[in-house]
Structure 1
């Protein structure tokens, strides 16, 4: 059964993310709401979802369809358009605009939105659960400022759309995402996790303790970073809360004293590397993550707004043959079946 994990008791907050703009997140959101109508959902977006047309290509976009009893976050404009079809449950203080938690009283179509910061998004998700939602679905993004990369997320549904690139590029991206998903999780005790998770700068590890490095990120001056690392005679590892890019990879190798050191990233998505670079880094050092990439399902979409859509049969066949272990779901297939 597709998406059966969404009914698991331990799954409360689910992020729906895409690898590119117009990947098909709204179509997946609508399918999950339709398929699981017996559940009470809370729904919000880390941006805006359900607009009538794409802001760039000016083509129609699917509306967000909310069933009776669904909790959702919207702004005052959407609330005014919905009128008596919804019940206002709470207002949220958001810089520059007023947001509301509302409950749909019947089947409606609406724009949804949400707060701009991960901390406020976490608070909103928790508030919806307290108001009676069984599950919260978040139209999110792979961004550190989004709840999608937070440890509070229980599951991620990742949509890979044809707008990402050609089939060769799609295959490489799926290989990269699979490698990130399988990254080993660092066994941090509560004290270490509380120290590392909110950190904004690199930290050095001497085998026992994590210490401040005085360096904001790997994007700082290379010689400054290498000098700071060489000043640590017992250096056995490094914690990186920000991005590791191809440009900073050489600096990282120069900072570490020898092969086999611990390279700990906050989240696998911090590794902005291609598959070959990931494999090399993993072969030279003990590559681990603090927060796992909780991808529960990979969804593909042959449609591509603003691009030539792929031949659906070829698209599905090629990717499913290359990744039989992923049980890839085509959002166009499930929507047709629904």
Structure 2
């Protein structure tokens, strides 16, 4: 599943979904390879700083590279040496690169800004590592566009109602599966203003760099001859509602930078997908596998077979239990 990819992100449906367990499984699978590990934000702590629940540690092996904040080094149990500084500042100090001398647990706190992560990934690639593993942020499902592949960790902790877990997972999988624009739209890569593309192939750049502050003004531009609207930032909730409401009179296709630029409530996201409005992106997510955790740290557990079967009904991707994965499932 992962052998062919260089940069791999792991995102989850909730805190304590099993992302760290997935990361440790991947590290163990490729422990004889030169890996680099980092995270979007903080991970690897003993107690989750949001839920106060116990968490698994991130275990790394000799010669692996870890990109983490200086403050996090105080919690490292592995022996290491600092090999470089990145100049990337975070609330926990500068991100530094360490090389593991003796195996052990580490606390990983990486950059929380996507552009900083992209710069960090580009630098780590110059070190000729075999793979770069990024522990993603659950709340924004943030994924760097430098990522070659993504694993989605689905945890029972999301809800004690399995149907709700499956329904939410189905939405996220649909979001991560949005198609890429064709090459004729490559000029939008560097565009930071709202752009209207007309049915005759011409386009117009509006003066607005965000939809949030100028929703009504932009809506007035959406005439029947507009085929696409490019939104350089996030798709706002109210704007999405207005597009759904007006879909019978005007139905432009939406172009976003990436699927993660759709930060919408689940009900609205579901309505948008069912509205007939087509959404495409400049930077799609290459979702390659689903790893699920039937155990919730709050005390309940789902039936493993039922959980797996219901997930397999909503995706064609490999579906693997994070608690009993096999090496061949991961490196195949």
TM-score normalised by the chain length of structure 2:
0.84
* Residues in 1 aligned to 2:164 and 2:86: alpha-carbon distance in whole angstroms: 41
Whether the aligned pair in 2 keeps the contact of 1:320 and 1:328 (CA below 8 Å) is yes
Are 1:153 and 2:147 counterparts?
yes
2:206 counterpart (213, 229, 243):
213
2:45 counterpart (28, 32, 51):
51
* Residues in 1 aligned to 2:168 and 2:314: alpha-carbon distance in whole angstroms: 12
Please tell me the root mean square deviation across aligned C-alpha atoms, in Å: 3.1
* Residues in 1 aligned to 2:78 and 2:164: alpha-carbon distance in whole angstroms: 47
1:263 counterpart (248, 254, 267):
254
2:22 counterpart (17, 28, 31):
28
Name the SS of the counterpart of 1:124 in structure 2: helix
1:38 counterpart (32, 35, 41):
32
CA 177–79 in structure 1, closer or farther in 2 if over 3 Å, else same: closer
Q: CA deviation at 1:191?
A: 4.7
> How big is each residue's C-alpha offset from its partner over 1:198-232, in whole Å with a ceiling of 9 and x where there is no partner?
x2x432112434432234444446532322335xx
* Residues in 1 aligned to 2:137 and 2:78: alpha-carbon distance in whole angstroms: 32
Whether the aligned pair in 2 keeps the contact of 1:316 and 1:330 (CA below 8 Å) is no
Name the SS of the counterpart of 1:236 in structure 2: strand
1:303 counterpart (286, 290, 295):
295
Q: CA deviation at 1:87?
A: 2.0
CA 245–168 in structure 1, closer or farther in 2 if over 3 Å, else same: farther
2:130 counterpart (124, 127, 134):
134
Match of 1:279 in 2: 273
Whether the aligned pair in 1 keeps the contact of 2:179 and 2:280 (CA below 8 Å) is yes
Whether the aligned pair in 2 keeps the contact of 1:237 and 1:262 (CA below 8 Å) is yes
Match of 2:221 in 1: 228
Name the SS of the counterpart of 1:225 in structure 2: helix
How many pairs does the alignment contain? 322
Match of 1:294 in 2: 286
> How big is each residue's C-alpha offset from its partner over 1:48-93, in whole Å with a ceiling of 9 and x where there is no partner?
1111112234332111100111100233344356599212210122
* Residues in 1 aligned to 2:26 and 2:77: alpha-carbon distance in whole angstroms: 25
- In structure 2, runs of 5+ residues without a counterpart are none
Match of 1:111 in 2: 107
Q: CA deviation at 1:289?
A: 1.9
Match of 1:186 in 2: 181
> How big is each residue's C-alpha offset from its partner over 1:252-285, in whole Å with a ceiling of 9 and x where there is no partner?
256779566332222223333546424333x3x4
* Residues in 1 aligned to 2:145 and 2:188: alpha-carbon distance in whole angstroms: 11
Q: CA deviation at 1:320?
A: 4.2
User: By percentage of residues, which structure has more helix?
Assistant: 1
Whether the aligned pair in 2 keeps the contact of 1:181 and 1:268 (CA below 8 Å) is yes
* Residues in 1 aligned to 2:45 and 2:252: alpha-carbon distance in whole angstroms: 48
Q: CA deviation at 1:117?
A: 1.9
TM-score normalised by the chain length of structure 1:
0.83
* Residues in 2 aligned to 1:81 and 1:12: alpha-carbon distance in whole angstroms: 28
Q: CA deviation at 1:41?
A: 0.5
* Residues in 2 aligned to 1:212 and 1:336: alpha-carbon distance in whole angstroms: 50
Match of 2:194 in 1: 202
